[in-house]
Structure 1
Amino acid sequence: MNARVEPTPVLRRMRAHDVERVMEIEVGAYPFPWTDGIFRDCIRVGYDCWVLELEGAVVGHAVLAMAAGEAHLLNLTVEAGRQGRGLGRFLLRQLMQRARASDVEVLFLEARPSNLAALRLYRSEGFAQVGTRPSYYPGEQEREDAWVFSLRL
């Protein structure tokens, strides 16, 4: 019997020196990625910025803003070649636990209607669509709406 043990992902705070690797993941995952300046600003102002490591390598990242009993998941990204393996779910659940520990009552996020994998993940974790932000995201031909989701923690 050959049992394969999967490595355990590790979540740790994002530091300024991680931004170069975070940008590699971001550019590989999205046609309209965040900029390194956005990540640096998020770290600077004290948002909850995290990287996900697997066997010592950064393979994902997330940014969470929390205030006044609410949290907003601003970014959750897993390296394109590692998507579909449960790492995004692991990262999301870790952030949900951290938000609960900070007395957050509601977690919000936006997703592109065309990002079917993200929509499946968020819905399977109990998020419900609560609104739409018209023309929120840049697109190849025209801007794309954002669907707003929330989850009561």
Structure 2
Amino acid sequence: MSVETACHEFPWSANTMQSCLSGRYFNGAIFEQEQLIGFYIGEVAGPDHTLMDICVAPAYQRQGVAKILLTDFIAVSEEAGAENLFLEVRASNQGAIALYQWAGFSEVGIRKNYYPSANGNEDAILMAMTLNFGSQSSL
């Protein structure tokens, strides 16, 4: 929770985080000297996987940690036989959007007023990637 609350102005609740640690969810994490510095939470929905949350402690941001986590999410999804990957990202989060595009995700839609913000609500960009036999291509 400490990494989640340090990264997000509107973090998930402890109950939400706890509910995403089993069942149809999977996760990955990076530690440095036994301290959690980044994690992701993925969800399995039939043949599709969704990146629900990806978070890097502020002191470790812009150092490639998110790229490692995203690469792991994609690899785990491929190994599990996922067909499509999805995620939502704040429209204002240009760094994350660039990372997702680098990995092969493409914009497929907008979710109006999806995220809470200090000034009301902010749109989410829905992004997707199709996985085919171990190679990545955009939807």
Structure 2 residue 76 is the aligned partner of structure 1 residue 98: yes
AA at the equivalent of 2:104: G
Give the whole-Å Cα distance in 2 for the aligned partners of 1:45 and 1:75.
Answer: 16
Instruction: List, as ranges, runs of 4+ consecutive aligned residues in structure 1 with deviation greater than 2 Å.
Output: none
Structure 1 distance, partners of 2:102, 2:51, is 16
* Displacement of 1:49: 2.5
**Alignment-derived partner of residue 119 in structure 2:** 141
Q: TM-score, normalised by structure 1?
A: 0.82
CA-based RMSD of the aligned residues comes to 1.1
1:29 aligns with 2:19: no
Identity of aligned residues (%): 29
Find the counterpart in structure 2 of residue 8 from structure 1.
none
User: CA–CA distance in 1 between the matches of 2:28 and 2:104?
Assistant: 22
Q: CA deviation at 1:92?
A: 0.5
Pairs aligned (count): 131
The worse-fitting range, judged by mean Cα deviation, of 39-48 and 127-136 is: 39-48
**Aligned-partner Cα distance in 2 for 1:105–1:46:** 16
CA distance in 1, matches of 2:35, 2:113: 35
Richer in helix (by share)? 1
1:87-126 CA-to-partner distances (Å, cap 9, x unmatched) read: 0000000110000011001100000011111111101111
**In 2, Cα distance between the equivalents of 1:53 and 1:103?**
27
Could you tell me which of 21, 25, 32 is aligned with 1:54? 32
TM-aligned CA deviation for residue 34 of structure 1? 0.8
- Structure 1 gap segments, 5+ residues each: 1-22
1:89 to 67, 75, 80: 67
Cα distance between partner residues in 1 of 2:121 and 2:45 = 29
Secondary structure, aligned partner of 1:66: strand
- For 1:59, the aligned partner's letter is I
